[in-house]
Amino acid sequence: MSTREAARKDFQLLVLRMYCWVLRCFPTQFREQFGGELLQVLSTDLQNPRPDASLLWRTDRILENLADLVASAACERVLEWRNKMNKKWILQILGIVLLSFWVILMSWGLGRNLLHWNVKDPYLLILGEFQSDVEVVFMDGTMFFAPLLAFVMFLIPLFRLKFQPGEGVLVQVSIRQPGRFMWILLGVSGLSAALWLGLIFLARLFG
Amino acid sequence: MKRRFSNSASTPFLTPAAFNILLALSEEELHGYRIMQKIDVEHEGQFRIGPGTLYRTIRQLIASGLIEESDERPDPELDDERRRYYRLTSAGKKALSAEASRLEKLVRLARSRQLLDTGGGVGDR
């Protein structure tokens, strides 16, 4: 084998490795179903360029294939995520949004009042100069109950209700084992709710 | 899995990739690389489907029942055993034909607005 031929083989091997690496970004199910075939197509495409193909054309084809693989992997991931999403997840996402909103506003307010950050009042920024009573009550309520509400939103999907019709309807309640991510969400929201409401209770108690 | 393409002929829209794959499979059963090559040749190198898009679309078309994996191999001795061949289903033929009719109507509309030569084909300049 000539030096040029060996260099070409090495280059092809390197490109194939890159293809393999990108293929790992696809969801497992897709990889199991089409991964082998996809790699074979890529390998055939790499080894059988057009007879008149220039070096620039070959490089362009490799980059085009890589870009297509990356875009396809991203689309497949999004699709996988969408398929996994259900109503329970929507509740959890709402909980995350609510908790994040509360954390941002709390740190903003604490930074402004305790650390004397030179930032605008968050209520002024969100509600504007002229605030109606309803708006202020809504914001106060959100700030007061947000961690507790988020905790409940994370907790609800863990319960499973099963109705058994018959003589006197029987309702069976079971609790699903939360995953690691859910444990973290429950922990953060539960702890925040306990600390926040406890602090308010103590403040009211001691004037 | 959520269906991307409907197998009913009343739903006309197929993506360009899906339409070209169905068109390539309308004559014969083909494996992935041959589908890619055929599309490349039919478009004279002006439209190409990348391998990732090809298999994503194949997966969606199988899920929609427009194509299926073929058990038969056209020439097993000449071919790699690992390759899978795909063929059009009857629902796929209907969807392809409906989409082709839709495109034909659009071409006729374009021609009536003098965007194309009156006598020539779609690709004529």
For chain A, the structural domain boundaries read: 3-84, 87-205
B48 Cα to chain A: minimum distance (Å): 10
Domain of residue B71 covers 16-112
Find the residue in B nearest to A84 (Cα): B1
Q: Measured between alpha carbons, how far is A166 from A176 in angstroms, rounded to an integer?
A: 25
Write out B22-58 in H/E/C secondary structure: HHHHCCCCEEHHHHHHHHHHHCCCCCCCCHHHHHHHH
pTM for this model (two decimals): 0.62
Q: Measured between alpha carbons, how far is A139 from A108 in angstroms, rounded to an integer? A: 14
- On whether the CB atoms of residues B67 and B92 are closer than 8 A, the answer is yes
Structure tokens at A36: 């082998």
Measure the CA–CA gap between A45 and A58, rounded to whole angstroms: 10
Q: Check CB contact under 8 Å for B36 and A41.
A: yes
CATH number, domain with residue B36:
1.10.10.10
Would you call B88 helix, strand, or coil by DSSP? Answer: strand
CA-CA-CA-CA torsion sign (B26, B27, B31, B35)? negative
pLDDT tens track for A25-57? 999 999 999 999 999 999 988 888 777 778 888
Residue B78 inside a domain? The answer is yes
At residue B98, the pLDDT reads 93
- List all residues 6 or more positions away from B30 whose beta carbon is below 8 Å from its beta carbon: B24, B38, B85, B86
For chain B, the domain total comes to: 1
> Rounded to the nearest 5°, which phi and psi values hold at A199?
-65, -45
Helix axes A133-155, A180-205, angle to 10 degrees: 140
Please give, one letter per residue, the 3-state secondary structure of A76-108. Answer: HHHHHHHHHCCHHHHHHHHHHHHHHHHHHHHHH
- B51 interfacial to chain A (CB closer than 8 Å): yes
Structure tokens at A170: 């029987």
Residues 6+ apart with CB under 8 A from A158: A175, A176, A178, A182
Q: Which has the closest alpha carbon to B48: B26, B70, B24?
A: B24
Whole-angstrom Cα distance, residue B106 to residue B109? 5
Task: Tell me how far CA of residue B114 lies from CA of B104, B108, B117, B118, in angstroms.
Answer: 15, 10, 7, 8
Q: How confident is the model at residue B77 (pLDDT cuts 50, 70, 90)?
A: low
Please state, as a whole number, how many other Cβ atoms lie within 10 Å of the Cβ of residue B106. 11
Contact B2 A65 (CB under 8 A): no
**pLDDT for the residue numbered B16:** 92
For chain A, which ranges sit under pLDDT 70?
1, 85-88, 163-169
With beta carbons less than 8 A apart as the criterion, state whether A66 and A18 touch: yes
Please give the biggest Cα pair distance in chain A: 89
Is B50 within 8 Å of chain A by CB? yes
In this structure, is residue B20 part of a structural domain?
yes
User: Phi and psi at residue B75, in whole multiples of 5°?
Assistant: -145, 90
Tell me whether residue B4 is in a domain.
no
CB atoms within 10 A of CB A113: 10
Residues 86-125 of B with CB under 8 A from A: none
pLDDT at position B3 over 60:
no
B78 pLDDT more than 90: no
DSSP-H helix ranges across chain A: 3-23, 28-47, 55-84, 87-113, 122-127, 133-155, 180-205
Confidence category of residue B60, pLDDT binned at 50, 70, 90: very high
Q: Other CB atoms closer than 10 Å to residue B69's CB: what's the count?
A: 11
- Whether A34 and B55 lie within 8 Å, measured CB to CB: yes
Q: B6 in a domain, yes or no?
A: no
A69 at B interface, C-beta within 8 A: yes
For the cut 60, the answer to whether the pLDDT of residue B1 exceeds it is no
Q: Cα separation of A83 and A182, whole Å?
A: 19
